[in-house]
Structure 1
Amino acid sequence: MTVTASIGIEADRFDLGRALAADDGDVRVELAQFVPIDGGLVPYCWVDAGTVDEREAFERAVRSDDRIAAFARLGTAPERFLYRIEWSTAVNNDDGGFLAALRDHDVLVERAVSTAGSAAWTFRLRALDREALGRFQRTCEDHGVAFTVRRITHGPAETTDRYGLTDKQREALVLAFDEGYFEVPREVSLTELADHVGISRQAYTRRLQRALRSYLTETGIFELRGS
């Protein structure tokens, strides 16, 4: 049975984190996928920047890093840009570290995100089972790459979105927001929200709490708490 783990890792603990460090500005980096090429992992990432100047400054900083052979802009979406990272020979052939451990233990990166000024990344990883996840963590620690496991869930689970939300959790969270549950004073009660969905108040409350926890975990609440 597969397991999903949400982990926090300091940016200076792995090459990708160091290379993509955004010191200031309104820059957010989200890994899209890793593509295995020639025994290495080629990352693709989305970059959200507040201004053109901030994006261009970020591009210059990444391209000046000795670990990066190329940082190519591939396309755009509303307010964000897709890039491919090509490593230098030294990094691509490295047989240790975080990226190598991902490859060697067949650990899938479902999501990874960091924001400007943050010293950490939040990863959502999927492994074959808890033992495989443990082996991956021990390999990382053996190479000086320590990380914090924040949450582990066991699969198979409902399909989740980029924020770790199931369809039902997303529905509960959006409904609560739209109906004014988070306003002061509140414009709707949990009982009314539960009636709208057709479940008990207790079930809706539990679903909303899980949605909030997943959303906050995936969007970096641990980074804010540590800042």
Structure 2
Amino acid sequence: MPTRVLSGPEPIVTPADIVGEHASDDPKIIALIAAVQAEIDGPSGWLGRALGKQKLEFTAAAFPCRDPIERHNFRLYPVVIPGSILMTYRDKDGVEQTIGPENYRLVGDRYVDFVRGYRIPPTECAPDAVRLVYEAGYNGIAIADGGTGSVPPNAKAAVVLGVQQMKAISAENLFLRSEEVEGVGTFQYTVSEQAGSIISKAADRLLEGLRVYS
């Protein structure tokens, strides 16, 4: 049941948060922020949760059987933004169908449970017959108002610290891959094993309380 990123994540810090003399849209600093954040944020990061707002896709071969003890049918990537889930499936004829949001609910910040009495439909036999598209991360809206709150300060501090560490090491440790930043253009980055280790060590203590263990 893979999860992939459709868009995002939005950066949780800006060049203005990084100490030093550089422009507010400095592409090198933006690249470093993206590289550091990618090491910890979202499905490809080691933190186990989404930080910057991002759109994700979860697919499964079928709806899981309802267990009388554990009623949660799907476990998504936290933190899920309430009201953002779109659930679809392909029926036995291969026709895509949508399940209305009145038939399921978000439990906590990651579980999706069908409402009592809803009859789970049969699906096409395919590894991606069921699809949930949703947004995850901190959207800046208070939890009391139906949002996920602001990005935890220690997460921001961890990214800032990681960027400072990356600035201090050799440029040889930041290899290249394609990435496009709106309003800036295309830059390239890939974090090497050595650089990734530096980021991890720099951020580990700051982020320990946020880490999600599967």
TM class by smaller structure = under 0.3
Higher strand residue share: 1
TM-score (norm 2): 0.25
